Each structure stands twice: as structure tokens, then as C-alpha cells.
Amino acid sequence: MTRYSVQRFRAAVLHMYLRIAVIVAFPLFLLHFLFIATPDRGVALLAFALYALWLKWRTRRDSEESLRHANWFVLAIMCLMLYGAYVSNERMHLEVWMMIFPIVYTPIVASRERMVWALVGAVSIASVVLLRPEPLSSISAFVFVAAYLILGFITLMLVRHNEQNIERLAHLSIIDPLTKAYNRGYLKDVMVSEINRCRRSGNALTVIMLDIDYFKMFNDKYGHLFGDSVLEQVAEVLKRTAQRAGDYVFRYGGEEFCIVTSGLSRAEARLFAEKLRLSICALDIENRHSPHQHLTASAGYWCVSDLSEITPSALLLNADNALYRAKDAGRNAVVDFDDISATGTEPVMAEKAPA
């Protein structure tokens, strides 16, 4: 999630750059072509503006797809800047080109590519300032390149600090503050992505709804502070039990948890749900309001192999129905939704999940 948040940030910055490129390059093209009488520079600006416009149109429906073109956009920017630095007759223009490039590439390329672009830019700028019709002295060229590298390093540090803040905020936005499990808001995103992934791979998807038995009476007797401590312990043991790649533990609300996993058969899903239930029993926390005299949990699950017409709401609703059957059966039990569908509760087949 945090990685995707940074990618969305990079994609947003790239789209902002594309809008700026289109808005600025077209008027400059007209200025150079019609009024300054430098058609060669106007053609370069026109080519760059058309490329930016095409890229903006190409990625209009999927902004993150634009990241595949980020390095090509940086290359186009660099070529335009080097051309401008080469034909410029004023030293100030060289400084402008030098300062723009690190600000352009740093926020939109992956972190492992930033050092490559920094070195490519330094070599390119050094080459251009020495090969210009009016070349700078070696000392001036060295000062330019050193200033460019310092500016690039500062920009890189600022962008990385911003990305770390985005990662922290994204992490906080999907984590339940009490239990440190994923929160309910993140559940829908995971369900949609897991359904689509399992459709492609052909794996079954299992949703387990788990509820702590008699927890309201537990809170009334032992106090809410101790109840919160118990929720933390339950969440921790669930996360330790569901630790395969692709296992997700969510706090659904109150004392209810949702576990999403994939790649299990129906029999394996039952064993997994039982393992989760037993892990809570193994905490051996006293609950005198329970017939079992210690903390227990009930679970309902639905394991689906054909996900062609399944939605997140259908999976959650049917797993929840199985949970309530487990409660009706006396609690401290695990119920498979497919076992109860023949008694009158049919699987919910909602509209197709979004791709």
C-alpha cells in the first residue's frame, strides 16, 4: 500500500509536468516560429509539446501507467534542455537549464534510477558547455557541474523525505490504531485486488469472519482497558497464525476480525479457520461469562474457487452468515457457508467486481 501511494504521488507529479509542458511549450513554439524568427527552436518546442500531449492522452484513464513512460519523458526534457543550453548565447540561460533538470527527474523516476540520471545529466551538461560555439573555461564548467550535482542532491533529499512522509501517512491510513491490524477501510481495496488476482491465477479465495464470544459481557466485567488489551493480544495471535504471503488480518469492527487468504482448498480453509480459533483459545484468558470459562471465538468462512461473478460484498456477507450460524450453534465453533447453503441461505451473487 505504501509503495502504491508513492507511485501515485510520482504519477500525479508527472501528470502535472505534462500539463505544464503543454501549456508552456505551445506558446513558446509560436513565439519562436512567428515572432523571433528562429524556426529551428520553434520546431524543437513543438515536437516536445506534441510528445507531452500524446503522453497525457495515452495515460488519461490510468495515471499510474504514465510511470512506464517517465524515463522517456525525462530523456525528452534533457534533450530539450541540452539543445537550449547549446544554442543559448547568454550564460544566465545555462544556469536556468542546469537548475530545472534535477527538479524534473527526481520526483517522477524510481529511486534506483535517480543516481543514473544525475550522472547522465552531469556528463551531458559538462559536454554541452565545453562544445558550445562560445565554450566556457574548464573552471567555469567545473563550477556549473558541481552546482548541478549539489542541487540534484538537495532535491533528491527533499523528494525522499516527502516520499517517506507519504509512506508513513499511507501506513497510518490502513492500520487500526488499537490492534495494529489492517482497518476496515483497507479491506475493500484488498478484496478487489485479491479477487482479480485469483481470477488470473485460478486460485481459490477464502474470507473468514471471526468474532470473540461474549465480549460485551467480558468488557462489562473486566473493564474496557483490559478489553482493549485482549483485542491487542487477539490481533497479534491472528497475525502470527496468518503469516503466509497473501494472508491479511483486518479488524472489521469492535471484537470482529476478518481474515482474507488465497490458494487454499475448502478442506484447507476449514483447517486454517480452526487454527485461528484454537490460537485464541490458547491465549487462555479467563472469561467467567463464557460457558467455557475462558476466551473463545466463533468463525464463519467461505472458500470460493469460481470468482467470475463474485464481488467483495458477496464474500463478506456469506462469510458473515456462516459466522452467525456458528454463534447460533453455541459459539466456539467454525462453520463453512457451503455447509449451510442447502438449508435455505443461498450464496449472494452480486454484480461483477470491478477490474
List, in sequence order, every residue forming a beta bridge with 301; answer none if it has no partner: 208, 336
Q: Are 17 and 72 in contact (CB under 8 A)?
A: no
The rounded distance, in Å, linking the Cα atoms of 107 and 61 is: 21
Report d(CA 278, CA 24) in Å as an integer: 65
Residues 208, 270 contacting (CB under 8 angstroms): no
Contact 152, 118 (CB under 8 A): yes
Cell triple for residue 254?
469492535
Cα-Cα end-to-end distance for the chain? 18
If DSSP codes are grouped into helix, strand and coil, which group holds residue 302? strand
Catalytic residue among 163, 255, 274, 351: 255
What does the buried/exposed string (b/e) look like for 255-288 if buried means 16 or more CB atoms within 10 Å of the residue's CB?
bbbbbbbbbbebeebbebbeebbebbeeeebebe
Residues 29 and 53: their CA atoms lie apart, in Å, by 14
- Let me know if 65 is a catalytic residue: no
Report, as residue numbers or ranges, the catalytic residues: 255
